């Protein structure tokens, strides 16, 4: 059983109440606690030594990544992040200097997005460091962008370039917080998710939630220069396209909107965010599943994203 | 360096913004996100296998404890808990049945207090289970009860009975959510904290935050029957009083208010919560430190609470 199956099994039994607008299963929970015209966004995300970072990773980059992942989830709802709590689990032999440097990386990113770090806790985890970040955000009611809103004929777009994140970008990525808020404010984006496990896997979350399929155009998928680097012997050899589809930890935004709006969106995006590419990579189809068009042939996309427990 | 020193070193550098009413250093953060007349309470707490529970602890009790600890922190502000996110870090060999049972214990407690579990995540922690709970709550503006409000001459009160929690109560305790809300609504409680590390340690958090000292009356400290059980060879031998002062994980409320109100409070509390004792155990003094009056002699209280990294 992988974690998606496990979570799917647990969700139906979760305790609920009237504050829940969107519960488990999207990038963030959406909650109504009575603020006029506004919903809260609520998210946690954890990273673990030896899995998401190495024992010798620069501590500032560990802190950056820990918060950046949660910020990316709030971005994928179109929201504004506001407050974070940090849970730091660490061995008894921890180095205070390392902890300070983790917090320095985390605080620097928080300040960049005007997020307040309002506390947290330290706890003993004897074998390795684990950092869990809990993040609050806000969004205007009705502006929240879910995974479930994609419609047949929608264009599928993605920010940035994909693949090869393990060469370094997974520790330094800039969460697309501004882009997410700008999209929510200016366009009727139907569905959005952030790419954490890889395009091939994450697009399926939009499709499952929306009840449709997709056809992707291989030549349109933006491949990062890092995905084109010849893999060293330590890494699985993948084609650059396969790397872009499956490497994961891109933390880019994947979203859908009416095809007729693509040209306008690309023009305005380019004017607003000249340093971040945006690519139209396919369309939402009534046919289920994901298909890849490559050299005029269309075939089912077999690849999936990263799974922690498979 | 223990965790309190570490946290004290980190707090001054935390990123801030205008939403922060109370940041790091109290039972919960207090946040103003624009809801008229209301503040948000925000808290995370983690428990770790081998430290807070055993590998063979009944899974339902693990879930109960994980959420109960956070609920106790919201109770200690006088607030109403509303929404929780669960981070479950577990070995790759996890048992889906065990995870389901952890969630069952957690959900049962959540339902009891009308808290919605709005999601969470699973992540790999190869050696042991770690559960981090993130909790949101609400409180009327101005009704939040901080650690810093104790005044000289205040009576010091505590709910329940203390000590011996390790014999079982640490897994089954009922967080004092109703009592905390009732206190905030009906009395001018000056300062409050929940007892997680033991009375001898936790009272110092109120005193440090408020700038005063305290004198405790040994005979008035409510000692749990479990604290009077003769310790087995596996446990450190403590007197029942010392156990009540230092065992930790009581999850009772410790609070201060004007001495003149004690009789009224005790009478009304007894009528409202006949099953939960409340005891007046001392007074706030201008003299710093904690002193214990026992058999007509007063001496400095040397004991401290549990420290995870000392």
**Closest approach of B294 to chain A, Cα-based (Å):** 35
Give residue for tokens 């999601």. Answer: B119
Q: What is the pLDDT of residue B250?
A: 97
Q: Count interface pairs A-B at CB distance under 8 A.
A: 249
- CA nearest B17: which of A84, A138, A274, A105? A84
Residue B306 has what pLDDT? 63
Residues of B in contact with A107 (CB under 8 A): 13-15
- Chain A residues close to B24, C-beta within 8 Å: 117-120
> What is the mean pLDDT of the segment spanning A123-149?
97
Q: Which of A8-12, A14-18, A141-145, B294-298 has the lowest mean pLDDT?
A: A8-12
Which positions of chain B have pLDDT values less than 70? 231-236, 305-310
pTM of the model: 0.95
d(CA A244, CA A222): 8
Q: What's the confidence (pLDDT) of residue A116?
A: 98
pLDDT at position A310 over 60: no
> What pLDDT is stored for residue B85 in this prediction?
98
The rounded mean pLDDT for chain A is 94
**Chain B contacts in chain A segment 79-138 (CB below 8 A):** 82-83, 85-87, 89, 92, 94, 96, 99-100, 103-104, 107, 110-111, 114-128, 130, 132, 134, 136, 138
Percent of chain B at pLDDT > 90 equals 87
- Give chain B positions within 8 Å (CB) of A7: 121-122
User: ipTM of the predicted structure?
Assistant: 0.94
Q: Touching check for A280 and chain B: CB below 8 Å?
A: no
Verify whether the Cβ–Cβ distance A20 to B118 is below 8 Å: yes
| pLDDT at A1 > cutoff 90 | no
pLDDT digit string, tens, across residues A36-73 = 999 999 999 999 999 999 999 999 999 999 999 999 99
Q: Do A24 and B111 touch (CB under 8 A)?
A: no
**The pair of three-digit structure tokens given for residue A6, joined into one six-digit string:** 């496990």
CB A39 within 8 A of CB A100: no
Subunit contact A33:B31, Cβ cutoff 8 A: no
What pLDDT is recorded for position B293?
Answer: 96
Q: At what angle do helices A177-186 and A262-272 cross, to 10 degrees?
A: 140
Mean pLDDT of chain B: 94
Shortest CA gap A116–chain B (Å): 4
pLDDT in tens, A111-128: 999 999 999 889 999 999
What gap in Å lies between CA A300 and CA A148, rounded to an integer? 22
| pLDDT tens digits, A258-308 | 999 999 999 999 999 999 999 999 999 999 999 999 998 999 998 776 665
**Nearest neighbour of A48 by CB, restricted to B15, B83, B124:** B124
Predicted confidence at residue A254, as pLDDT, reads: 98
Query: What is the rounded average pLDDT of the residues A191-213?
Result: 97
pLDDT of residue A28: 97
Mutate which of B45, B68, B132 to disrupt the A interface (most A C-beta within 10 Å)?
A: B132
Total length of chain A: 310
User: In this predicted structure, what is the pLDDT of residue A226?
Assistant: 92
**Nearest chain A alpha carbon to B112:** A15
pLDDT, mean of residues A12-16 = 93
Nearest to residue A162, comparing CAs of A188, A208, A198?
A: A198
**Would you state the structure tokens that stand for residue A208, as one six-digit string?**
């499952």
């Amino acid at each position: 059983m992988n974690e998606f199956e496990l979570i799917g099994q647990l969700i139906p039994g979760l305790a609920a109440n009237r504050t829940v607008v969107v519960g488990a299963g999207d990038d963030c929970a959406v909650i109504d606690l009575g603020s006029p015209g506004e919903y809260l966004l609520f998210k946690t995300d954890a990273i673990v030594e030896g899995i998401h970072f190495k024992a010798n990773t620069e501590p500032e980059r560990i802190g950056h990544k820990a918060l950046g992942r949660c910020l990316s989830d709030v971005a994928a709802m179109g929201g504004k992040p506001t407050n974070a709590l940090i849970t730091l689990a660490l061995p008894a032999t921890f180095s205070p200097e390392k902890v300070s440097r983790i917090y320095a990386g985390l605080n620097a990113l928080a300040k960049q997005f005007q997020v307040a770090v309002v506390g947290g806790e330290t706890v003993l985890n004897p074998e390795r460091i684990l950092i869990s970040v809990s993040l609050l955000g806000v969004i205007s009611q009705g502006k929240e962008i879910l995974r479930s809103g994609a419609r047949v004929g929608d264009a599928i777009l993605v920010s940035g370039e994909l693949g090869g994140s393990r060469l370094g970008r997974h520790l330094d990525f800039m969460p697309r917080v501004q882009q997410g808020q700008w999209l929510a404010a200016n366009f009727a984006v139907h569905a959005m998710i952030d790419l954490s496990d890889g395009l091939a896997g994450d697009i399926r979350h939009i499709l499952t939630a929306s009840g449709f399929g997709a056809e992707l155009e291989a030549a349109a998928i933006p491949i990062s220069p890092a995905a084109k680097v010849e893999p060293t012997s330590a890494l699985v050899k993948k084609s650059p396209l396969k790397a872009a589809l499956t490497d994961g930890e891109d933390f880019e935004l994947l979203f859908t909107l009416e095809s007729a709006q693509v040209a306008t969106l690309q023009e305005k995006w380019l004017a607003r965010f000249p340093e971040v590419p945006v690519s139209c990579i396919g369309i939402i189809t009534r046919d289920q599943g994901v298909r890849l068009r490559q050299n005029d042939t269309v075939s089912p996309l077999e690849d999936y994203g990263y799974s922690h427990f498979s």
